[in-house]
Structure 1
């Protein structure tokens, strides 16, 4: 398994995580089998938004078979159980009661990420961050009951505001190759409508979403990913906006090559879906490669935008071109180059100044990026 650091929290998490509704309507034995399979595959990161008492008890019991230090939990504040159904709540008494129930049934002394659940509009955000819920989250953090504060959202503007608070360490955000091509919108419901992707011209990653990922990376705010397969749309040739299906491995690689992304929380319903996802770890670069699918789709123009796919390799001077471009893009959105980014760049074995302008990389790039000019920009910005 590949492990990454969860932004400024310092917590080490598996690049593949699990979550979503997969534990619903399962017996304890079935939940235990899923947990055992995940942990045997090296997965240590689990997102639990579920308010269903049976799910919480089953998952908690299964996880209690393992040392607490061996797994990381994203547990949601604001998810409650009401008359046999899940309900999102902003009533503080319900939030507190539901979270105490979560801790008890999950057999947890602490939660690694206390995730404020499902915040998609501005009024809701304001009520939370100007009210009692954020105070409760901060109180839990002060007591060590949660180690960091997170927020789950599908809305790019809300994610930006979360970063700006300085209080949010982790954002659970919907990321995939289809959503990234759509203009950021207050109406997040369009993300879930399949006809959204029909007869649309795609022009690369939406600039606002692109800037969000870079902003999070620079701020040390980790992104964990939901909807990595676009609810299955990307796995179906007839439904995919690219008119060709991506494999689960390609979907995961797309997400994991975005700035700030630490882990993709894959919705799993059975052990086979875990095994399909963890094939990512042993997949070849060719099997991971998504660029051919999205670069050649009809009605699209991704020209000039580096997707960090690595097709520019090999470089005759052994420059890691994709990583240089990534550090460059992260720096260009700011007035001054952050010292941390400069340090990361300096630690590269080979730098943009070593470019001999042979052009081999540009011939390989499926997106027509002017790589030679990008290397010149990097030299000007970083000094070598």
Structure 2
């Protein structure tokens, strides 16, 4: 398993994490088996949105056998258990005891990432940021009950507001190649409707989403991913907007090649599904490659957009073309080149100035990126 640093938090997490969906209505033995399988395969990152007291208790009991520094918990604020059902809340009188219940049932002194749950509307975001919820979350952070502050959303507009606030360290966002082509919306339900994808011609990644990823990278705000499989839509040739099915590994690779993404939280209900996700760690470049499917999709055009897929390789001068393009994009959204981006560029073994315009990369790129022009632009921006 490969590990990444969760943005500016400094927390190390596995690239593949597990979500909470598969733990509902399961016996303790089933939950323990999933957690043990995850830990055995190097998966140390677990999202617990669940307010179900039984699920929380199962997690706590199963994780008790492991050292506390062996796992990272992304636990949610604002989820409560009401008359046998999950409910999202914005009332502190409900939120406070629900979070204390999370700590108690999971037998933990702290949660690594305290995630403000499910904020998709501007009015909801403003309410959270102007009233007691954000103050309570910040107090939990000061007290050490949470190490980093997060927010979950399906709406890029809200994610951008969260980044600009300067208060949010981690954003849990729905990311996959299908959703990336859609404009921001406060209506999360459109992500699951066939009509959303049926009669649309796509022009690459929505500019706002692309800007969000780059801004998060520059600000040190980590992205963790939900809905990486688009609720299974991408596994079906009939339902996929690209006219071909993608594999779990291809979906994971797409998300993990977006700027600022640290991990994909995969919803699994069986060890087989978990192992299919964990297989990403040992998958070949050919197994990860999603570029041909996106490039040849009947109703979409990613032409001219670098997807950081690495399909342009090998370069005769050994330039990491995908990395140069990524750092160039990160630099271009700022008035001046951020120190961190310049530092990453400096660490490259070979620079854009070494490009001899041999042109093989142009033939290899499935998205028609003007690579040699981009190399010249990188030299102008980075000085070499």
TM-score bucket of the superposed structures, by smaller chain: over 0.9
Q: Which residue of 1 aligns with 2:177?
A: 177
Q: TM-score, normalised by structure 1?
A: 0.99
Preserved CA contact (<8 Å) 2:114 2:146: yes
Q: Give CA-to-partner distance per residue, 1:300-324, whole Å, 9 cap, x none.
A: 2111100000010000000000000
Q: Which residue of 1 aligns with 2:340?
A: 340
Q: Give CA-to-partner distance per residue, 1:56-82, whole Å, 9 cap, x none.
A: 001110011100100000000000000
Between stretches 64-73 and 187-196, larger displacement belongs to 187-196
Alpha-carbon offset, residue 299 of structure 1? 1.9
Q: Give CA-to-partner distance per residue, 1:21-77, whole Å, 9 cap, x none.
A: 110011111100000000000000000000000000011100111001000000000
Alpha-carbon offset, residue 346 of structure 1? 1.0
Preserved CA contact (<8 Å) 2:242 2:299: no
In the alignment, the residues of structure 2 paired with residue 174 and residue 272 of structure 1 have an alpha-carbon distance, to the nearest angstrom, of 23
Q: Which residue of 2 aligns with 1:105?
A: 105
Preserved CA contact (<8 Å) 2:241 2:299: no
Point out 4+ residue stretches in structure 1 off by more than 4 angstroms.
none
In the alignment, the residues of structure 2 paired with residue 215 and residue 185 of structure 1 have an alpha-carbon distance, to the nearest angstrom, of 19
Alpha-carbon offset, residue 202 of structure 1? 1.2
Partner SS state of residue 146, structure 2: coil
Alpha-carbon offset, residue 248 of structure 1? 0.2
Q: Are 2:352 and 1:352 equivalent residues in the alignment? A: yes
Partner SS state of residue 150, structure 1: strand
Q: Which residue of 2 aligns with 1:363?
A: 363
Query: Aligned runs of 1:193-272 on 2, under 5 Å?
Result: 193-272=193-272
Q: Which residue of 1 aligns with 2:85?
A: 85
Alpha-carbon offset, residue 145 of structure 1? 0.6
Alpha-carbon offset, residue 182 of structure 1? 1.2
Query: Unaligned stretches of 5+ in structure 2?
Result: none
Alpha-carbon offset, residue 187 of structure 1? 2.8
Q: TM-score, normalised by structure 2?
A: 0.99
Between stretches 199-208 and 44-53, larger displacement belongs to 199-208
Partner SS state of residue 230, structure 2: coil
In the alignment, the residues of structure 2 paired with residue 110 and residue 182 of structure 1 have an alpha-carbon distance, to the nearest angstrom, of 36
Alpha-carbon offset, residue 337 of structure 1? 0.3
Alpha-carbon offset, residue 20 of structure 1? 2.8
Alpha-carbon offset, residue 196 of structure 1? 1.1
Alpha-carbon offset, residue 200 of structure 1? 1.3
Preserved CA contact (<8 Å) 2:355 2:375: yes
Alpha-carbon offset, residue 186 of structure 1? 3.1
Query: Aligned runs of 1:316-335 on 2, under 5 Å?
Result: 316-335=316-335
Query: Aligned runs of 1:11-160 on 2, under 5 Å?
Result: 11-160=11-160
- Matched positions, count: 384
In the alignment, the residues of structure 2 paired with residue 113 and residue 319 of structure 1 have an alpha-carbon distance, to the nearest angstrom, of 36
Between stretches 333-342 and 368-377, larger displacement belongs to 333-342
Preserved CA contact (<8 Å) 2:308 2:326: yes
Query: Unaligned stretches of 5+ in structure 1?
Result: none
Partner SS state of residue 86, structure 2: strand
